[in-house]
Structure 1
Amino acid sequence: MRKITIAVVGPADSVQLISEVAKEYSEKIDIMALTYKVAEEVPTILAAHNGLPDGWLFSGKVPYSHAIAANIIKQPMLSIPHAGSSLYRVLLEIANQEKLDVNRISFDMVSEKDIAETLSDLEVPLDPIRTFDCEGIVSAADMTEYHYQLWKSGKTKLAVTSFYSTYYALKDRGIPVFRIRPLRSNVRTALDMAYQMVEAVKFKSSQISIQQIVIDDYAGVIRDASSTYEVKRLEAKLYPLLIQYTEMVQGSIDIHGPGHYTIYSTRGAVEEVTQGFTVVPIQEQLTQLLSVPVSGGIGFGPTAHAAEKNAYKALGFARHTGKGHWMVVLDEGTVLGPLSSDTYLKYSLRPDASLSQCLAKQLQISVTTMNRLLASLDKLDTETIGADELATPLSITPRSARRLLGILVEHGLAEVSHEEALYKGRPRKIYRLLVDKIVQKHGSL
């Protein structure tokens, strides 16, 4: 069994509890205990330990919200929920120690729904429910003031908080306060989930990556060259760039044939170097140093055969979109690209995407074109468009784009906005895509 390291972030007492429970998982999990006094320290903790653990476990919603806002961590992150059994425990503590009416309690970082459901299960009515819950960051000082003002006005007699520093600040003011902390059962569930998440990410990262990179229209390059030496000089300029890129992705490179190269690597390395499959890191050098375009297809899969198959699919899509483009096909059939392009799209190849398949059948177009159209809607700055502009993101000819726009008009999903006069020839039609209707029709099938 593979052993992983999980960083646990939270107040000292919560981290201690999680670390104690984690001893039950000592064969597969090592704990990195990271504590804070105030949650505002979380970004500093993350920055100091970024890249060291395989995953991160936060003691609750408060430190987790700070981690999300910091946007530093790339590893899997998980927080321990404070609803359900944790809420039951604190209410039981209150009942045993304070004998207090639950209608005189203020809560924070617990939703009104969770409180209502918990008390409904206990057959205890609560009206009104006083809770301060939000998805973003809120300071402990603001939360302390929230509870204090309710107590001071006589609306509450007791506070229940998820904030470590709020708990002690209210105690110092003499206000009865209880703190929601994780239960051992919740910790066990979270540790199991954290392990599974890390394993899933590691599996993805270790997937085989195969890239097929070609000089576009190599036969034409040879035909137009003044001599074979000119072609060799071109290849001599390209190869060092590909060596540089291969080193970046920690892979190996083979010359597949004249003007054709294959690079072997792993998904994790390629994803990092291409910034999440969005850019070609050597695109600028390729453009500056070479007089001909170079296209690339990047494929992933659990086996070399699957990765190679996807790489050739990606190369086919790249060539279909034009010269000098790079595309990606993921193992689950998602297409990304062109990389380093304003027309970058993400869509699925899966023919079993039932909604897209039904709409594509009605419009008499391919599922792939349908998925490209849906993906393109988010990229359009305007709802009015001509056939030439629509053809580019869909990787089809202007003639095919005009046919598609005509079909959309027939089905009430587009309309002719106006005609645009040209210097020569007939005026071209400009269409208004009825985006809301297209999306609505797609979702209602």
Structure 2
Amino acid sequence: MKIGCIGPSDSVELIKEVVGRCCPEITLLTYVRERIADSWEVLEECQRETKGILFTGIGVQEAAKARGDVTRPYRHIPRGGYSLLRVLSEMLRRGIKSGKVSIDVVSDDILTEVVKEFGVEFENIHSMPFAIHHGEQDYLDRHIELYENGQTDAIVTGFGYIYKELKEKGLPVFRLYASTLQIRDSLEKLVDKINSRNLRSAGIAIQLVKLKSITRNSINQYDDMKNGGIFYLELLEYVRAIQGSLFNFGTEEYVIFSTRGIIESPLHRDHFRRLLAWGRDRNIIFSSGIGIGSTAFEAEKSARKALDNAIKLPKGGFYIVEGQHIRGPIGEQDELKYKTHIVDSKFLKMSSEIGISPSYLDKIKALMTKSHKDTFDSTDLAACLGIGERSARRVLKKFLDSGYAELNGTEVSAQVGRPKKMVRILI
């Protein structure tokens, strides 16, 4: 298994040695960047050549994620109590006993654990746990400031760049290296993550595509047949791109067999959205439902459920159903993820008292979470849920009548018409 390792040269060499000695089944490809801010530069190359990424530390990992898109399974190697104890032992050997120390990266929990469990005493300790909003230079400047002000006699760092800079300045700096145990543990967890994703990606995915309307202003049936043929050729290109198999039932419904890994990929979704846009430009409207399951029967059943939701969209679109969760319309502004099957007794009781289905209640809850709002008028709710305004008024009335909503004022429109009620949903 090929795994990439990103980080400064000293940590990378240590990990390389451990992997060569303890993990013969792993081929480690190394991508050295001395500064964590530069780790994103090798991210794309690493992901292209390996199955997963081992970051040498949390700083390298978070810097790569901040500027790049991490799509492969990944882990970072933490710095635990053993790493700190090893540094403290080295400090004693070099005669530094005052306990006036500045330490970065290590969490306060680890520091407390070392102090309590091993009886380590510090005269004055300046802890600087890793924080995403601080760069390497922030930690470097703080270490130097504390030392020059006489507040510390030693510096402990988990950053390769800071270690080299302070070493060149002749300051008493000690490097926090990962232990063999920590490296092996992180590697094992990463391999498990990779294997788990491989199994997950191998699941069955079935996509149903149903033509809703070929054209609105055809002169005769031959125009319809011509447009249907054009659509079929475009669909064939799409199926070839996702390495699927295509079967058609008449001229209006198609079944595509593929794998979960391909169906769930951003490339697939972008391709299908382009196909939808192509159809809309030509008044060829179609809907699609994707079902994911461990068996073909389970996947097809889920695909039907997804298609049932997609065909309600006036301009077409697609949904994905996996197990008890439904997501869609995929790629649209009103995309939501909610449950199709509810077992929570409190939630079931609430939906019964309101008078709407548990799944629909969960959809509204998902909308509130996504939009960060709990107050709607009928127009707003209709647009968000993709329903008519009359239906939205009925839904809001059910919430009000059951006591799960309250009036939160009215909105007076500049246009002619009655003021809209602003309803705050209380779930």
Structure 1 pair 353–197 and aligned structure 2 pair: CA distance change class (3 A) = farther
**In the alignment, which residue of structure 2 is the partner of 1:109?**
105
1:38 counterpart letter in structure 2: R
What are the equivalent positions in structure 2 for 1:248-259 lying under 5 Å apart?
248-259=241-252
**In the alignment, which residue of structure 2 is the partner of 1:427?**
418
**SS of corresponding position for 1:202:** helix
What are the equivalent positions in structure 2 for 1:315-330 lying under 5 Å apart?
315-322=307-314, 324-330=316-322
Partner Cα separation in structure 2 for residue 292 and residue 140 of structure 1: 54
1:231 counterpart letter in structure 2: D
1:234 paired with 2:232, answer no
Aligned partners of 2:376 and 2:422 also within 8 Å: yes
What are the equivalent positions in structure 2 for 1:135-284 lying under 5 Å apart?
135-136=131-132, 138-216=134-212, 227-273=220-266, 280-284=273-277
RMSD in angstroms over aligned alpha carbons?
2.9
1:306 counterpart letter in structure 2: E
Deviation at 1:274, TM superposition (A): 5.1
1:25 paired with 2:23, answer yes
Structure 1 pair 273–45 and aligned structure 2 pair: CA distance change class (3 A) = closer
Match of 1:372 among 332, 356, 363: 363
Deviation at 1:341, TM superposition (A): 2.2
Aligned partners of 1:278 and 1:337 also within 8 Å: no
Q: Please, what TM-score do these two structures have when normalized by structure 2?
A: 0.89
**In the alignment, which residue of structure 2 is the partner of 1:94?**
91
Between stretches 375-384 and 84-93, larger displacement belongs to 375-384
1:68 paired with 2:68, answer no
1:254 counterpart letter in structure 2: F
Deviation at 1:215, TM superposition (A): 1.2
Structure 1 pair 49–309 and aligned structure 2 pair: CA distance change class (3 A) = same
**In the alignment, which residue of structure 2 is the partner of 1:119?**
115
**In the alignment, which residue of structure 1 is the partner of 2:42?**
45
Deviation at 1:133, TM superposition (A): 2.6
Deviation at 1:361, TM superposition (A): 4.2
Aligned partners of 1:245 and 1:281 also within 8 Å: no
Partner Cα separation in structure 1 for residue 212 and residue 206 of structure 2: 19
Deviation at 1:373, TM superposition (A): 0.6
Partner Cα separation in structure 1 for residue 71 and residue 225 of structure 2: 42
**In the alignment, which residue of structure 2 is the partner of 1:443?**
none
Partner Cα separation in structure 1 for residue 112 and residue 27 of structure 2: 37
Deviation at 1:240, TM superposition (A): 1.4
1:403 paired with 2:394, answer yes
Structure 1 pair 310–127 and aligned structure 2 pair: CA distance change class (3 A) = farther
Partner Cα separation in structure 2 for residue 87 and residue 302 of structure 1: 46
Structure 1 pair 303–367 and aligned structure 2 pair: CA distance change class (3 A) = same
Aligned partners of 2:276 and 2:286 also within 8 Å: no
Partner Cα separation in structure 1 for residue 204 and residue 368 of structure 2: 32
% same residue: 27
Structure 1 pair 427–238 and aligned structure 2 pair: CA distance change class (3 A) = same
Deviation at 1:155, TM superposition (A): 0.6
Match of 1:298 among 290, 296, 299: 290
Deviation at 1:312, TM superposition (A): 0.8
Aligned partners of 1:213 and 1:260 also within 8 Å: yes
Deviation at 1:157, TM superposition (A): 0.4
Number of residue pairs matched? 425
Match of 1:386 among 373, 377, 382: 377
1:238-258, Cα deviation, whole Å (9 max, x unpaired): 111211211221212111223
Between stretches 84-93 and 57-66, larger displacement belongs to 84-93
Aligned partners of 1:274 and 1:281 also within 8 Å: no
**Structure 2 segments unaligned to the other structure (5+ residues):** none
1:311 paired with 2:308, answer no
Partner Cα separation in structure 2 for residue 288 and residue 320 of structure 1: 19
Partner Cα separation in structure 1 for residue 228 and residue 415 of structure 2: 43
Deviation at 1:114, TM superposition (A): 2.5
**SS of corresponding position for 1:216:** strand
Aligned partners of 1:112 and 1:129 also within 8 Å: no
Deviation at 1:145, TM superposition (A): 2.2
Deviation at 1:194, TM superposition (A): 0.5
Deviation at 1:362, TM superposition (A): 4.5
1:33-68, Cα deviation, whole Å (9 max, x unpaired): 222333333122223333211100011122112211
Q: Please, what TM-score do these two structures have when normalized by structure 1?
A: 0.85
Partner Cα separation in structure 2 for residue 146 and residue 259 of structure 1: 67
2:156 counterpart letter in structure 1: V
